[in-house]
Amino acid sequence: MTFHERDFMEGTLGTQAVDWEERINTQRLRAERMERALDRLQATDLGAMLLVSDPNIRYVTGLAMTGGSGADHYTLLTEDGDVVHWDTADHASNQRKHCPWLEDIRYACPGLGNVPRASGRDSARQFLLSKMAELVADAMAEYGVDDERLGLDVGNQGLVRAFENQGVDVDVGTAQEVMLDARKTKTEDEIECLRMVAAICEAGFQRIKETAKPGMKETEVWGEAVKELWRHGAFVGGGYLTSGPNTWPKHQANTTDRMIRPGDLVYADFYNIGYLGYRSCYYRTFSMGQPTQEQRDAYEIARDNLYDVLDRIEPGATTDDIAEAFPDMEGEHADYYGADEHWQMTTNHWAHGLGLQLYEVPLIWRGLSPDHPIEIEEGMTMAVETQEPAGRQGVRVEEMVVVRENGVELLSQWPVEEITRIEH
């Protein structure tokens, strides 16, 4: 199996900004993302798009959207490249000071989400929706696109009606497709962000290997890992660590207060760990002491299944053909779950796109891809994950990759050949 090799001295450098070498170029990152979104907008019959989805807002503006109370921040992008951003009072004030690349930042009226929901009255909710639509309609008139169609990246019918009451011709669907198409392949700076977050996750794995001992709780070990992730500048928006019987099937409560014991399998899932907004999904399995033969055999199956999939990923390949490398229903252990079809096995064996959120295009999965294939493109980034039971426990393994012209490049580099052993 051959993987893409980076050029000499190419790859992850430091997380800090320096003046003596080129690292992630954040100005270029913002500019290239904006250019992609604008090019695709200009290819439609829309005059502007209103972006309410946090990842879409960040893609166009560069603002660190990490969630909030709903539509208390939103962005207008016109066909001429004009950007208007609305945000809460404190956020907007800070953005005006610290984000000089955005020239028009205004105070938002929160038309969707927790604020109108908490108001307790339909009249209040209607006021907030109407005011939000009025603000956007006024901006469209200022920038000369008020007679053209407005694309929304959310399908909220109340918001649609509010815009129609303002005389705005609304399109629901095109803006979503515009942003999906812009974001499905990544620039080199975006890829480097994902490579960097993979490196930060590896620091977390190392912390687990160094600190985990029998008698420690899952929560204690996970706390040590999270501390390490934050130390490297990551945003920790998810993830968990489980052990022993919590490793298969995946424990729905995620990290618990269970004490880790000798002979346990332990796995950590660093998902939604962010660096400059770009999110990880990265599994590794550990054994508390020498793994048993049953555990080693299970790990070998999971690892080989994963790499059989990676071997099929290249530009021009289609997701239906790639999905055939994932386990069939017997390999999925469908009898254990009482499942009859692959769509019932969501998240167990699949590949999903990585970027400013989980999940992005593409999705490779036996539950969907055979009847709804798409073509793989160079520059797509994704995580490929598999699992396998080992007696009353289980293993999971996952790689983060980017599609190159000759296959995939591994962004993740924690050793994968065998289970990582933790001495105690």
Domain ranges of the chain: 26-183, 188-422
Q: Would you say the CATH fold of 188-422 matches that of 26-183?
A: no
Whole-angstrom distance, CA of residue 327 vs CA of residue 349: 8
In this structure, the number of other CB atoms found within 10 A of the CB of residue 170 comes to 18
How far apart are the C-alpha atoms of 397 and 385, rounded to whole Å? 6
Q: Do 416 and 201 form a contact (C-beta atoms < 8 A)?
A: no
CA distance linking residue 218 with residue 225, whole number of Å: 11
**Under 8 Å between Cβ of 78 and 143:** yes
Please name the amino acid found at residue 108: A
Alpha-carbon gap, residue 322 to 156, rounded angstroms: 35
> What is the Cα–Cα distance from 183 to 180, expressed in whole angstroms?
5
26-183 under CATH 3.40.50.2300, yes or no: no
Phi/psi at 406 (5° precision): -115, 25
Residue partners of 29: CB distance under 8 A and separation at least 6: 62, 187, 189, 190, 193, 276
Do 33 and 59 meet the contact criterion of CB atoms below 8 Å apart? yes
Strands 350-353, 360-364: pairing is: antiparallel
| CA separation for the pair 199, 193 (Å, rounded) | 10
Q: In this structure, how many other beta carbons lie within 10 angstroms of the beta carbon of residue 235?
A: 18
Show the low-confidence residues of the chain (pLDDT under 50): none
Yes or no: say if 87 and 52 are a contact pair by the CB < 8 Å rule.
Answer: no
Cα 276 to Cα 186: distance, rounded to the nearest angstrom: 14
Q: So what's the pLDDT on residue 22?
A: 85
Identify the pLDDT of residue 68. 55
**pLDDT of amino acid 67:** 59
Q: How far apart are CA 63 and CA 30, in angstroms?
A: 10
Tokens representing 157 are 């019918």
pLDDT reported for residue 209: 98
Q: How far apart are alpha carbons 61 and 148 in whole angstroms?
A: 22
**CA 189/CA 26 separation, integer angstroms:** 8
| 179 within 8 A of 356, measured Cβ to Cβ | no
Give the residue from 167, 174, 266 showing the smallest Cα distance to 212. 266
CA atoms within 13 A on the CB side of 17: 4
> Which ranges of 143-213 would DSSP assign to H, the alpha helix?
157-165, 174-183, 188-211
In degrees, to the nearest 5, what angle opens at C-alpha 335 toward C-alphas 329 and 339? 70
- pLDDT given for residue 18 in this prediction: 84
Domain 188-422 has CATH 3.90.230.10: yes
* Distance of alpha carbon 276 from alpha carbon 110, whole angstroms: 26
Q: Do the Cβ atoms of 106 and 148 come closer than 8 Å? A: no
Q: 207, 251, 250, 247: which is closest to 231 by C-alpha?
A: 207
